[in-house]
Structure 1
Amino acid sequence: MIMNEKIKASEVQLTGIDGEDLGVMPTSHALALAKKLKVDLVCTSMMSSPPPCKLVGAGKAREEAQQQRKREQAPKVKEIRLTPHIEAHDYDTKKQQAERILKSGDAVLLVVRIQGKEGPEAKTLLESLIDDLKLAGRKQTGIQLSGKQAAVQLDPLT
């Protein structure tokens, strides 16, 4: 996002604070108008000629840029490991941990380590966790049982 004096184009297509079209004008006039109104001149795209610019309230442009960067970042996948024979307190701790991760915008991979014939217990544990976390996230894939582990990925609700 290019703002104020960093706009190098000789003229810009200007949009006002309330979205009204102010037409094509020299960049110097647009900057003077922005200073007079105590707002920022923000260029939305440099791909066209003249580039479209808009007047945005002071500080709002930076907030918009930060939100845009946050949206562009891919969510991370964080892994939480469990065992089928988990006690109630430990279960609650892992559930809260997963909930916190999902609410921060990252995905959670719940992995249960299996030894011997613990497959059905692991599947039941993951199903109850999915049910308890349905307000914070939804499962991306089904429960995958493979060899020594059972896993499911939960994505945050956006």
Structure 2
Amino acid sequence: MILNEKIKASEVELTGVNGESLGIVPTKEALALAKKLKVDLVCTSLMSSPPPCKLTAAGAAKQEAQQDAKRERAPKVKELRLTPQIEEHDLATKTDQAARLLKSGDAVLFVVRIQGKEGAKAKELLESLLKELKPLGRPTTGIQLSGKQAQVQLNPL
């Protein structure tokens, strides 16, 4: 995003504060108009000649760019490992950690290591976690039991 004096083109296609087209204007005139109205001159694209620019409220362009960056961030998948014999306090800690991750917009993958005949116990553990975290996230698939582990992924709402 290019603002105000950083626009190097000799003339720009200008759009007003309310979205009205002001036509092709020399850059110096556009900057003078922006200063007079106490707004920013923002270049929206460098791919055309003259580049399209618009007048926006001071600081609004930076705020909009920050919001776009937040929206575009892909959710990361964070893995939390557990065992079927987990203590109550440790389980509460893992649940709090998962809740924090889901609130921040990241997905959580719960993986429970299984030895021998612990499959049913692992499945119960994952079901209780899903029930507890239901207000914050929804599972992508059901609980998957495979070999030596059981897993389920929660995506944020």
> TM-score normalized by structure 1?
0.89
Counting only pairs closer than 5 Å after superposition, residues 79-90 of structure 1 correspond to structure 2 as 79-90=79-90
Match of 2:7 in 1: 7
Residue 112 of structure 1: how far off its partner (Å): 0.9
Residue 59 of structure 1: how far off its partner (Å): 1.7
Q: Deviations over 1:69-123 (max 9, x none)?
A: 2222222211111111223332222111101011111111111111111112111
Distance 1:91 1:134 in 2: 16
The 3-state SS of whatever aligns with 2:112 is strand
Gaps of 5+ in 2: none
**Most deviating of 96-105 and 121-130:** 121-130
Paired AA for residue 105 in structure 1: G
Residue 39 of structure 1: how far off its partner (Å): 1.5
Residue 56 of structure 1: how far off its partner (Å): 1.6
Paired AA for residue 9 in structure 1: A
Distance 1:110 1:82 in 2: 7
Residue 41 of structure 1: how far off its partner (Å): 0.9
> TM-score normalized by structure 2?
0.89
**Most deviating of 141-150 and 105-114:** 141-150
Match of 1:137 in 2: 137
**Over aligned residues, Cα RMSD in angstroms?**
1.7
Match of 2:154 in 1: 154
Distance 1:16 1:135 in 2: 44
Which stretches of structure 1, 4 residues or longer, exceed 4 Å deviation after superposition?
A: none
The 3-state SS of whatever aligns with 1:42 is strand
Q: Does 1:76 align with 2:71?
A: no
The 3-state SS of whatever aligns with 1:22 is strand
Residue 29 of structure 1: how far off its partner (Å): 1.2
Paired AA for residue 82 in structure 1: L
Q: Deviations over 1:23-71 (max 9, x none)?
A: 2212211111111122211111222233221112222211111222222
Match of 1:110 in 2: 110
Gaps of 5+ in 1: none
Q: Does 1:66 align with 2:66?
A: yes
Distance 2:20 2:124 in 1: 58
Distance 1:23 1:53 in 2: 10
**Most deviating of 101-110 and 45-54:** 45-54
Match of 2:119 in 1: 119
